[in-house]
Amino acid sequence: AQSVTQLGSHVSVSEGALVLLRCNYSSSVPPYLFWYVQYPNQGLQLLLKYTSAATLVKGINGFEAEFKKSETSFHLTKPSAHMSDAAEYFCAVSGPDYKLSFGAGTTVTVRA
């Protein structure tokens, strides 16, 4: 079975500061990993995904994530936060059945 754990339900950063969202996964097979973003009153939008092609994955809006097998982690980063990054972020892992298992989510607030 696959699962993910997101460390920290809320993260507050200053505008221009580094954004770091933590995700650890558990998977019995080589995982496919995803980060999604949800803006208020909207559905989820894909930020990036890991499919074993490269350990450092670049996504939209300046986000990137690094897959570390030894640490079973897939942390999301953005070097400089913008006010528009305020949203809820979800890490997810795909199993051998097309289903996604989601973390509980991390809400990001950006201080001016």
Contacts with other proteins, residue ranges (CB under 8 A):
9, 32, 34, 36, 41-46, 49, 51, 90, 94-100, 102-105
| Shortest CB 6 distance to other proteins, Å | 8
Residues counted in the chain: 112
| Shortest CB 17 distance to other proteins, Å | 25
| Shortest CB 90 distance to other proteins, Å | 6
DSSP string, 10-29: EEEEETTS-EEEEEEEE-SS
Residue 20 · residue 74 · CB < 8 Å: no
